[in-house]
Amino acid sequence: MLREGRVATILGVMKTVPEVVALLREQIKLGIEHEFDTDPVGNIRLRQLLLMEDCLNAIGFPTHEEHKGKVSLAPYIFQEANYSDISWTSQEAELGHLSAYFELDYIVQNQGHERGEAGAEEFKQYVEDSFKWIDRAQASAANSA
């Protein structure tokens, strides 16, 4: 039986906008409690979580490419994943200390669906889009410098 506020999907139960906002707020709270806001990388990640929350509150899950690119966490977590030997481009990978960030990114980018419920093609598209957002963020940073 579905709990109130959830929407059934073919593969399982997807997250609603209010549920994802609550998860984002939980991560923001944890980040502030652990003083991530005092470190440049942590501050950028907190900013992205706040941007995701603003997007969800304003328009719901992003559907336009421009919005998806602006709210993606991938550009701000992929390097740490690579340094930590986390194979984030594999759907079945253990995401370690970055699991909440990667899961939230996937959920927001894919209309409330979780990584574990994605088909192979859906996950492949997420990875390709993530690389596109990473390239855009790096180009933007290079142009700002």
- Spell out the domain ranges in the chain: 9-144
Task: Residue count of the chain, please give it.
Answer: 145
The verdict on pTM exceeding 0.95 is no
Give the span between the Cα atoms of 43 and 35, in whole angstroms.
9
Find tokens 């506020």 and name the residue. 5
At 14-25, the pLDDT tens digits run 899 999 999 999
Distances (CA, A) of 133 to 24, 47, 69: 20, 16, 5
pLDDT digits (tens, 9 = 90+) for 1-46: 223 333 334 445 789 999 999 999 999 999 899 888 788 888 899 9
